[in-house]
Chains A and B, each alone.
Chain A
Amino acid sequence: MSFKYPVVMPKMSMTMETGELINFHVKVGDQVKSGDVLFEVMTDKIDMEVEAPADGVIATLVAEPGAVVEIGKPVLIMLTETEVMAFDFGDDDQPVIAVEVTAPTPVIAAPVSAPAPLIVDTPVKAVPKARVEAGNRGIDLRTVHPTGPDRTITMQDVNGAQLDPAIVKRQEANKALIAKGIEMTRGIAQASFSRRVSTSFDHASFIAAWAKVLRGRPDLAAHEQIGVALIIESKYGSALPVFRDPDQASLNDLRTLVASTTDAAKKGKVPVEMLSGATTTVFDLTTYSMSSATPLLFPNQVTSVTIGYDSESTKNISLTIDLNLCDFYDGALLLDALVASL
């Protein structure tokens, strides 16, 4: 028994209403396995690959690449032997869209006017420097036409390649998001304090220490849950995954989570559930050997912290506070407590 299963635009964040279909990874008639990537979508926060919920055959491509699709609306339809439950989108009463079809095949493809870029799924052959260069420039080697012997991508091929449009779009979306957020806090009275520290710490221990300090000041947190956003830079732009109540996890677990999230963010793939709930932001500038930046507050956050480069053995910790909710004295106490707990 075959079921017609519409794969829909998923809801990837609390505020998401629509998503843009970037491209398909499949075409009509393709056999797919559960977990295979079907298409990529982009929102104002992240890009995400949508996977097949079950084994099956692609029947119809409903949306066109570039189209903006409402959440819950079908992007493609597949035929499957498995009875699949639809995603629960929360807001609406989405019915379980598993409909039995009487005549299993054939299915006529919906015409697709703008074909997705050709993505080759066999391993890409490229000279080592081409890989390095592609990585630096955010070029997906699968999109580069190989002209070298044995269909190998040469330096010339990479030099002539354009930046992956998906990455460009994502970078622009990230930039817009951050700019918009910071713009909202412009005009809020805020102040920054700096202290030099010589203790060594990693991101996990820093985040945990900072969350613990904030927990001692429930008047400033304004939330039961403490969410520490860690800014992670990659070729995809800035990602801001949020670590919730990091002071209450074991440090080892937190280290593992920070490491895996950092890796994922560098590949442009932060888990959706980690993109909300920030109550404070941490930005490590030492990667760029910067000592300080002007850390404007993000909306609904009272504090933000930067870790700056000071010398081989010392760092410059800088705290910014919202003066509407606390004063200089509070700021000094917070920074003092943070430094003491490192």
Chain B
Amino acid sequence: MLTMAEAVREAMSIAFDERPEVFLLGEDVGIYGGAFGVSGDMFHRYGAERVLDTPIAELGIVGAAVGAALSGMRPIVEIQFSDFTAQAMDQIANQAAKIHFMLGGALHVPMVLRTPQGSGTGAAAQHSQNLEPWFASVPGLKVVVPSNPADAKGLLLASIDDPNPVIFLEHKLLYKIPGRDPVPEGATRIPLGVSKVVREGKDLTIVATGIMVNKSYEVAEKLAAEGISITLIDPRTISPLDMQPVYESIEITGRLMVVQEGPAHAGFINEVIAQMAGSASFGSLIAPIKRLAGMNIPIPYAPQLEKAAIPQVEDIETAAREIVKNWR
């Protein structure tokens, strides 16, 4: 069983083999093998021409990738921590996302920017954020948040194929974990913009992103033994967002809970709530929509506080049980 780091490396390797224009650049992605070991031995297999170690200069790294993409290459950028994308934001939001539209569609920016995000590593406030709403609110970017190795592989291959800039947000804690399902061999793509129904139930619909899919799955399995059956939906691509399976599920369950690790205020998951509230399925709700998300604070360094700042399995379990019990 591959871990997510291995699955991402496998996807990149397949793309390297398929297309000579694919290359990887970033801080320590070469000889060192990546800060989280994702690129691993790729430097040795593909050489310094295609696995580029860069200086510590995020704006320059992404700028070089945008330029390469405009001239026919398919760069994969690794930004060591997603927090550092702040340094590169002009290239991401103003250049990569906009050039196609500013030039009347004449050029594309087929760039993938991979970056690890999330808390739980004791790395404190500047290395632990979930910044998906930054990217999801910029039209022109696609944003992918994989929750397991199999999806990560298929989604990354599709992201590299995509003619648009794609932000690919990997959770650090998932890197070392094998998924529930084995990673398929070969180069099978998972289309962007298609939500995945992870499991089906009739009492509650949970929409969760990234690592929260795994935590919610654990809760769903546990509560199934108590007779509470849960549908779990993983959007996988948060921009564009596929809400159809959510609507279909609400027609059955009538109850919606959304879970994300990032701060609640103005978080991505609020978009799911907003779209549900304005949809034809609104009238099928039999309970107020429940949101579980990170606290509106910088991630604390102290391990107990770091844990308390984001939804844990027990929080999801309690909330799920209450919504089903209170709203019949």
Q: Contacts of A127 on B, CB cut-off 8 Å?
A: 285-288, 327
In the complex, how many angstroms separate the beta carbon of B251 from the nearest chain A beta carbon?
10
Number of interface residues, chain A, beta carbon within 8 A: 11
Report yes or no: B326 in contact with A129, Cβ–Cβ below 8 A: no
Contact between B283 and A154, CB atoms less than 8 A apart = no
Selected contact of A148 from candidates B254, B283, B326, CB within 8 Å: B326
Q: Which residue of chain A has its CB nearest to the CB of B328?
A: A156
CB distance from B284 to the nearest CB of A (A): 5
Partner of B285, one of A129, A148, A149, A156: A129
Tell whether B282 is near chain A: CB-to-CB under 8 Å: yes
A126 to chain B, nearest CB (A): 10
Q: Is A132 an interface residue, CB under 8 A from the partner?
A: yes
A128 CB to closest chain B CB (Å) equals: 5
Contact B283 A132 (CB under 8 A): yes
Task: Tell me whether A131 and B283 are in contact (CB under 8 A).
Answer: yes
* Chain B 271-304 interface residues, beta-carbon cutoff 8 Å to A: 282-288
- Beta-carbon contacts under 8 Å, A118-172 to B: 127-132, 148-149, 154-156
Q: Which residues of B contact A131 (CB under 8 A)?
A: 283
B104 to nearest A CB, angstroms? 40
Q: How far is the CA of A127 from the CA of B282 in the complex (A)?
A: 10
Contact A155 B283 (CB under 8 A): no
CB distance A128 to B282 under 8 Å?
yes
Distance in Å: Cβ of A279 to nearest Cβ of chain B:
41
A155's nearest neighbour on chain B, judged by CB, is B286
CB atoms of B284 and A128 under 8 A apart: yes
Additional pairs, 6, CB under 8 Å, beyond known A127-B287, A129-B285, A130-B286: A127-B285, A128-B283, A132-B284, A148-B326, A149-B326, A154-B327
Name B residues whose Cβ lies closer than 8 Å to a Cβ of A.
254, 282-288, 326-328
- 10 closest A-B pairs by CB: A132-B283, A156-B328, A128-B285, A155-B286, A129-B286, A127-B286, A128-B283, A128-B282, A149-B326, A129-B284
Q: What are 19 A-B contacts with C-beta separation under 8 Å?
A: A127-B285, A127-B287, A127-B288, A127-B327, A128-B284, A128-B286, A129-B254, A129-B284, A129-B285, A130-B286, A131-B283, A132-B284, A149-B326, A154-B286, A154-B327, A154-B328, A155-B254, A155-B327, A156-B328
